[in-house]
Amino acid sequence: LRPPTVIGQFHTLFFGSIRMFFLGVLGFAVYGNEALHFSCDPDKREVNLFCYNQFRPITPQVFWALQLVIVLVPGAFFHLYAACKSIKQEDILQKSSYSGFYIFSVFLRIVLEVVAFWLQIQLFGFKVNAIYMCDVGALDKKFNITRCMVPEHFEKTIFLIAMYTFTVITVILCVAEIFEISCRRLGFLKTQ
Reference 77, options 93, 96, 101, 113; nearest CA is 101
User: For helices 153-186 and 60-84, what crossing angle results, to 10°?
Assistant: 20
Instruction: In whole angstroms, give the CA distance from residue 105 to residue 32.
Output: 33
pTM comes to: 0.85
Beta bridge partners of 145: 135
- Average model confidence (pLDDT) across the chain: 87
pLDDT tens, residue by residue, 116-160: 999 999 999 999 999 999 998 888 766 788 999 999 999 999 999
How high is the pLDDT of residue 1? 63
Question: What is the CATH T-level fold of the domain 6-184, as seen in this structure?
Answer: de novo design (two linked rop proteins) (1.20.1440)
- Residue 171: alpha-carbon gap to chain centroid: 11
Higher per-residue confidence, 33 vs 106: 106
Domain ranges (residues) in the chain? 6-184
pLDDT (tens digit, 9 = 90+) per residue, 50-90? Answer: 999 999 999 898 899 899 889 989 988 998 988 898 888 77
Residue 46 CA: distances (Å) to CA of 34, 70, 74, 187: 16, 34, 42, 65
